[in-house]
Structure 1
């Protein structure tokens, strides 16, 4: 049985699992708010509304793919950290689900906090869609979609009561 499983794994090992991605961004704000989860120190919070996500995963699915875990990340650098990566949104796509994802407007599921003040005026925040291919047998690849979007964050804070 182990030999048969290994042979099944080999039959899909060289698949590249790539797909073209289109990401659109609506409005963007940056607020300086107290982070009540830690020291109550004021930190930057970016609010990105109306994200659009479009990707055709039908070429990624094959007989060995059980499901795909999609996640949209924001990647940027700041004075404190050379590389920051924040997951904004995720979705599990099962084999029986629609494999062409076309979401014209969705708000992020997770807060986009920076651990200091690295978001205000940041002109190079890159949004990428990546996924893990969950197989029936074999390796668990992490794939970054073909295509990304760069967002310039505002250089002034949006008015805030100090709360999210």
Structure 2
């Protein structure tokens, strides 16, 4: 005869198996949800400065500040299994010298967009949390969730290069990336090709541009 502890372990094991199986089935339903992300991004202002880009930098170096405009529709990424969406913009440019990295890539901006049922996870004050919970209670995902309209957006992060030089870099492009974080299942990123009903990102890549040279101020003023 099994004692009470063995019976409790059996019940708990059966419960976790059923819960895991149900979670997997819920995660698989995402494959039937159509994903059609799209967006247009362009650089609006670029500047290269020489100094210490971070307070912990030990030496002066060149770093770039890139402002951009973004008009993206990521609303189709929000389904019943979407907890939150991580969106970020990168600047990419080829290495100027042979033997270095083939492509340089750095993040200049990012943002987290939560599902209405996960709004309380945002780092907000008690008043803001209360308003978000009240607005999301009993409501489905709002259609404007995932719509980004940024104009002349300042970057969150300045970019530099291990060599300390980044001025006059050519063939720079901005790219939009996303990471879908589900309630249950695997993390998914934007893909380069279509996978069933999941379409690749339409657009999301800017035209190529060059970074300017470092602006040097004259030591003596002209009469």
Residue aligning to 1:25: 43
In structure 2, runs of 5+ residues without a counterpart are 1-18, 117-141, 192-200, 218-223
TM-score (norm 2): 0.63
More strand by share: 1
Residue aligning to 2:76: 59
SS in 2 for 1:8: helix
2:202 is matched with which residue: 142, 146, 154? 146
Please tell me whether residue 157 in structure 1 is matched to residue 214 in structure 2.
Answer: yes
Please tell me whether residue 46 in structure 1 is matched to residue 55 in structure 2.
Answer: no
Structure-to-structure mapping, 1:15-164, within 5 angstroms: 17-34=35-52, 37-40=56-59, 42-49=60-67, 51-78=68-95, 79=97, 80-96=100-116, 98-143=145-190, 145-147=201-203, 148-149=205-206, 150-154=208-212, 156-159=213-216
More helix by share: 2
Task: After TM superposition, give the deviation of residue 4 of structure 1 in Å.
Answer: 0.6
Q: 74-83 or 126-135: which moved more?
A: 74-83
- Find the aligned partners of 2:50 and 2:34 in 1 and give their Cα distance: 41
TM-score (norm 1): 0.83
Task: After TM superposition, give the deviation of residue 16 of structure 1 in Å.
Answer: 6.7
Task: After TM superposition, give the deviation of residue 117 of structure 1 in Å.
Answer: 4.7
Q: Is the 8 A contact 2:63 2:165 kept in 1?
A: no
For each residue in 1:108-138, what CA deviation from the matched residue of structure 2 results, as whole angstroms up to 9, or x when unmatched? 0111111125522222111101011010111
For each residue in 1:48-72, what CA deviation from the matched residue of structure 2 results, as whole angstroms up to 9, or x when unmatched? 23x2111111111111111100000
Residue aligning to 2:129: none
**Cα-Cα RMSD:** 2.4
